[in-house]
Amino acid sequence: MSEADSESRAGREEVWIEKYRPQTLDDVMGHENIVGRLKSYVDRNDLSHMLFSGPAGTGKTTCATAIARELYGEDWREHFLELNASDERGIDVVRDRIKNFARTSFGGHEYRIIFLDEADALTSDAQSALRRTMEQFSNNVRFILSCNYSSQIIDPIQSRCAVFRFSPLSDEAVESEIRHIAAAEGIELTDDGLDALVYAAGGDMRKAINGLQAASVSGDVVDEQAVYAITSTARPEEIRDMVQSALDGDFTAARATLDRLLTEEGIAGGDIIDQLHRSIWEFDIDDRAAVRVLERVGETDYRITRGANERIQLEAMLASLAPEE
């Protein structure tokens, strides 16, 4: 790839996420049941407050903007306020920015939309203030809240919202979109590269698109090697061999694989835990062994999230998998 081509592709990279974001609800992939329910609200032009919950990269923000586009047309940005609660999570945001937007005059539409992303990052005081604001401006504002964990949203808010739970996208949906983008951008994408992107994404469309973008800049062909290197993802067979070595009692081999993943490939301990959890039932081990591994994975994940040294905890996990004498 020439230097000019690299610069051109890198320039295009910045806009791929928005460039290929679905513009209407009909374009949203992988959530037919949710889209059908949302379209019924849009067709009646009678939105309720909504709560979108689910993993990252599954279409929550896309659905919110698609609703606004269909309701307001080209002027949708004037009637749609997007806030990220993880950045602006205090009570003042609810009292000031949201109320100012809700109070401003507007014409031609019965209500405006406030989209509060990562609402589970709001403090409890801010959520209580938000609840009162939802009541106060219910005549002319509709709230769409997005979160990863609906359990972090207080019950009074949940009870005021229609709840939509987004699941990770299917491999088929991710594969279809990646093929479409690769063809549109003129990227040579191999079959094993596509499989690697789908595996690394784990149902996260944004992660798949980012991986395709980054891999396309690094070389002429997006193949398996480029994808795993750019996404800092271990090959499934490496994870499987590491676990199998531990189960067979060969701790030295298992530890060597772990050391290579952490040191040479630069994969974070938390990502190794995630891959283990996702792939355990695909290993050629019996159910009892799989349950043992899952138990150790859960304990290790908890300790790492509590601040323990990830290398020590991962090595301890592998050591605990050795067969009992």
Positions of the chain with pLDDT lower than 50, given as ranges: 1-13
What is the sign, positive or negative, of the torsion defined by CA atoms of 49, 50, 51, 55? negative
CB-count burial class (<10 Å; 0-12, 13-18, 19+) for 16:
middle
Instruction: Calculate the CA 237 to chain-centre distance.
Output: 24
Name the segment(s) of the chain with CATH classification 3.40.50.300. Answer: 31-165
User: What class does CATH assign to 170-231?
Assistant: mainly alpha
Which of 299, 314, 297 has the alpha carbon at shortest distance from 289? Answer: 297
251: which strand partners?
A: none
CB–CB of 227/243 below 8 Å?
Answer: no
What are the φ/ψ torsions at residue 152 (nearest 5 degrees)? Answer: -85, -5
Q: What is the pLDDT of residue 89?
A: 54
Task: For residues 222 and 182, give the distance between their C-alpha atoms in angstroms, rounded to a whole number.
Answer: 9
Name the segment(s) of the chain with CATH classification 1.20.272.10. Answer: 236-320
Q: What is the pLDDT of residue 325?
A: 59
CB-count burial class (<10 Å; 0-12, 13-18, 19+) for 289:
middle
Beta pairing class for 141-147 and 112-117: parallel
Q: What is the pLDDT of residue 155?
A: 93
Which of 250, 249, 267 has the alpha carbon at shortest distance from 258? Answer: 267
Name the segment(s) of the chain with CATH classification 1.10.8.60. Answer: 170-231
pTM of the predicted protein model: 0.81
State the number of CA atoms in the 13 A half-sphere of 97 facing the CB: 17
CB atoms within 10 A of CB 165: 12
Name the CATH topology of 236-320: Zinc Finger, Delta Prime; domain 3 (1.20.272)
Task: For residues 199 and 228, give the distance between their C-alpha atoms in angstroms, rounded to a whole number.
Answer: 10
Q: What is the pLDDT of residue 87?
A: 64
Options 3.90.1150.10, 2.10.10.90, 3.40.50.300, 3.40.50.10310; CATH of 31-165: 3.40.50.300
Secondary structure (3-state) at 145: strand
User: ∠ CA(279), CA(283), CA(265), 5° rounding?
Assistant: 55
The per-residue b/e assignment along 54-72, b for 16 or more CB within 10 angstroms, e otherwise, is beebbbbbbbbbbbbbbbb
150 token code pair: 């609906």
68 token code pair: 């606004």
